[in-house]
Homo-oligomer: A and B are copies of this chain.
Amino acid sequence: MKKQRKNSNAGFSVGDLKRRCEDVSAILKVLSHPQRLMILCSLIEGEKTVGELEKSCDVSQSAMSQFLKAMRLEGLIDFRREGQFVYYRIADERLVELMTALHKIFCS
Q: Which residues of A contact B (CB under 8 A)?
A: 1, 3-7, 9-12, 14, 16-18, 20-29, 31-38, 41-42, 44-47, 82-83, 87, 89-90, 94, 96-107
- Give chain B residues whose Cβ lies under 8 Å from the Cβ of A3: 82
- Give chain B residues whose Cβ lies under 8 Å from the Cβ of A106: 17, 20, 23-24, 27, 94
A52–B23 alpha-carbon span in the complex (Å): 24
- The interface residues of chain A, by DSSP majority, are classed as helix
Contact of A103 among B14, B102, B107 (CB under 8 A): B14
A96–B9 alpha-carbon span in the complex (Å): 9
A35–B83 alpha-carbon span in the complex (Å): 44
Residues A87 and B4 in contact, CB atoms below 8 Å apart: yes
A94–B90 alpha-carbon span in the complex (Å): 25
